[in-house]
Amino acid sequence: MNIMIMGAGALGSLFGGLLSQHHQVTLVGRGRHIETMRDNGLKIEGATLLHAWPKCIMDIETIEKTSLPDIVILAVKAYDTEEAIKQCLPVIGPDTRIMTFQNGLGNVETIQDHVPDTHIIGGITSHGATRLDPGMIRHGGIGDTVIGHLSCDDHENIQKVADIFTASGIITSISENIGKEIWSKTIVNSAINPITALLGEPNGAILEDPGLVDLVKKIVSEGVSVANSIGMELIRDRTIDMTLDIARRTAKNRSSMLQDVEATRRTEIDHINGVIVRMGQEKGIEAKFNNALLDAVKVRERGEIDKDIIKKIALLDS
C-alpha cells in the first residue's frame, strides 16, 4: 500500500520504518532527522532492530497527484492537528483513509471538520519510542495497538489496515468503540507522561516508588470519573491496572512529554490533563491532581525546575 505519515517524530518514524518493510511509505517531517534518513536510512534499536529506508520529504507538495496515498497517518502533536490535516487535503483521494495515532483528546473532532467520518480511523498505541539522534530511533517498549472506524459500515477496510499493521510487526486489534479506547489511553497518559516529565525519569521510575503508584491511582481515578460523566463507562481499577502495566512494559522508555521538556519544546499537556480538568469543571467534577500536574508542567515548559513538585502534588489530600 501507499502510506504517508505526517510527523516524523519518534512514533511516526518507528511506524514508518516498520511499515516500509512491505509497503511504500513516505515520512513527512523537517530538519536534520529527515535529511539524515534520506541519506542514510532510518536505524531502529532496542525492542526492534531494523535499518529501514522509507521515503522522506519535507514538502507535501512534492507528492505526485497521480500516486495518492491509500492511508495518511497523522502522528503530529495534538496542537498541530488542524494545520496538518489542512496540508494533507490536496493528497487525500476519494479512497484515502485518515488515521490518527496522537496523544490526547480532540484530534478526531478536528479531523472531522475536514474529512467525512467514513474516511477516518482512530488509533491508539502504547509502543514506546525515543528519537536518539537524527536518523536513529530507540524502540523502548512493545505495546498494544488498537484501531477503530468512526463509521460502522467499513469493516472490510478496517480489517485490511489491521492486517497490514500486524504483518509489519505492529500487532493491531480492532475496537467497536474507538472513542472509549482513546479516552482510556488519554487517562493512562495523564498519569505517566507528566509524572515522568517532572521527575526527568523513564516510565519505570513510577513503579519503584509506592508514593508514585498511589499518585497514579488518584490521577487515573479523576480521569475515569470525568470520562464516565459523558458515558464512557470505564472501570476504575481496570484503568489503573492498565496504566501500571503500560509503565511496566515500557519501563525503559522516556515518555513523549519528558522528551519534549528535555528539548524545551511545547508539550501536549493541554490536550491531556488540560482537557480532563476543563471537562471536569463542566460536569462539576474536581480534578485537582490533574490540575496540579497541568500547572506544574506549564512551569516546567518555561525551564523552571522544582525537584519537590511531585511530592507537593502527592500531598494534596493531606
Catalytic residues: 185
Residue 232 in grid coordinates: 464512557
Strand blocks (E) in the chain: 2-6, 24-28, 42-46, 50-52, 55-57, 71-74, 97-101, 120-125, 128-133, 136-141, 145-149, 172-174
CB-based contacts of 147, cutoff 8 Å, min separation 6: 99, 121, 122, 123, 158, 161, 162, 165, 172, 173, 174, 175, 178
By the 10 Å C-beta count (0-12 exposed, 13-18 middle, 19+ buried), 294 is classed as: buried
Helix, strand, coil: what percent of the chain each, to 5? Answer: 50, 20, 30
**Torsion over CA of 63, 67, 71 and 75, rounded to 10 degrees?**
-10
Single-letter residue type at 251: A
Rounded Cα–Cα distance for residues 232 and 183 (Å): 8
b/e map of 61-82 (b: 16 or more CB within 10 Å)? eebeeeebbbbbbbbbbbebbb
Residues 6+ apart with CB under 8 A from 101: 11, 12, 15, 73, 74, 75, 123, 124, 125
